[in-house]
Amino acid sequence: MISAEQNSANATTPSSTGKLVAAALAAAVAAPSDGPITNTDNSDDPTAIPFRVTHGKKTHEMRLAPTTTVAELKDHVEAVTGVSVALQKLLYKGMLKNEQTIDAAGIVAGAKVMLMASKVEDIVKLATAAATTAAPSQAPQVTKKIPMCEMTEHKKVLDKGKPDDVEVAVLGVSRAPIPSHGLRGMLNQRGDRVRLTFKLEQDQVWIGTKETTQRIQMSSIRGVRNEPISSHPEYHILVLQLGPTEKSNYYFYWTPCQYIASVKEAILGPIGNWL
């Protein structure tokens, strides 16, 4: 039986639209600019760790206690960059988690932490599109949405069956970290085996097949969506949108449901799970 969470996958509500608009306004001063290095030193602790946070062409010096959490670090970053905490993605040997301390994250003296932040104009476009979708029509028409798994072009791939070496899927787990080796054993729209590897330090996702590996900048991905496969609700069809038309989409069949939220956050940042 498909859970309520799966049935509502990617559903945009007015409340989520409000969050998007609020986030866009909060990030209005987030764009990086050229300028001198700024300093943040909020610790007199002799064990404090000096390191740098880079944002675009600007660098910010930090000196914080090793017990400082990433969530607290984000507050410092917001103070010096103007980038809202909600829109921050901090990278150092992978994406940093809020509950980590900077010591546990391996940040050492002289380390360089990269700040990735969603572009304001992209957020505004998403918010506007979501508001338009959510607005009621004056003459509503009841149309039945055909699930992707029932469409001919997708069904012919799914009819090949679930690959034997696909990652194990677990219903009821809303979020699980992406395995270090990435997601493997899935099928692409041609029915070939495909593997997704997330190179967070380079802000890239690698799409690998037997013949080739394509490296895509995460910032070039316009959207990420998913739908459960009705016969196997623990697996989803994952879609990466690189352009304005369906022809620019990449489809990945048999994606385990527990990794969807982490994939969206890795590619789109914290805003990804509002969509």
Q: Quick one: CATH architecture of 28-117?
A: Roll (3.10)
Three-class SS state of 22 = helix
Q: Give the closest residue to 63 by CA, choosing from 37, 28, 33.
A: 37
Q: Which residue has the higher pLDDT, 180 or 118?
A: 180
Beta strands in the chain (DSSP E): 38-41, 49-55, 58-64, 88-91, 112-117, 183-187, 193-199, 204-208, 213-217, 223-229, 232-241, 249-256
pLDDT, tens digit (0-9, with 9 covering 90-100), for 105-151: 999 999 999 998 765 555 666 666 666 655 555 666 667 789 999 99
Report the pLDDT averaged over residues 141-168: 90
Q: Please return the burial class of 38, using the count of CB atoms within 10 Å of its CB with bins 0-12, 13-18 and 19+.
A: middle
**Amino acid (one-letter) located at 205:** V
In angstroms, what is the C-alpha Rg of the chain? 20
Q: Where in the chain is the domain with CATH 3.10.20.90?
A: 28-117
Look up residue 260 and give its two tokens.
Answer: 């969807």
Give pLDDT, residue 221. 92
Q: pLDDT band for 83, please (50, 70, 90 cuts).
A: confident
Q: Is the pLDDT of residue 183 over 70?
A: yes
Cα–Cα distance, 250 to 238 (Å, whole number) = 8
Looking at CATH, the fold of the domain delimited by 145-274 is given as PH-domain like (2.30.29)
Confidence of residue 56 (pLDDT cuts 50, 70, 90): confident
Query: pLDDT of 231-242, one tens digit each?
Result: 999 999 999 998
CATH 2.30.29.30 in the chain, residue ranges? 145-274
d(CA 268, CA 160): 31
**Percentage of residues of the chain with pLDDT beyond 90:** 56
> CA quadruple 99, 101, 107, 111: dihedral positive or negative?
positive
- Mean pLDDT, the chain, integer: 82
pTM for the model stands at: 0.55
Residue 93, both tokens = 């040997």
Provide φ and ψ at 33, rounded to 5°: -140, 160
Q: What is the pLDDT of residues 19-54, one digit of tens each?
A: 555 555 544 444 444 444 455 665 577 899 999 999
Which residues contact residue 268 at a Cβ distance below 8 angstroms, ignoring those fewer than 6 apart? 118, 218, 221, 223, 224, 275
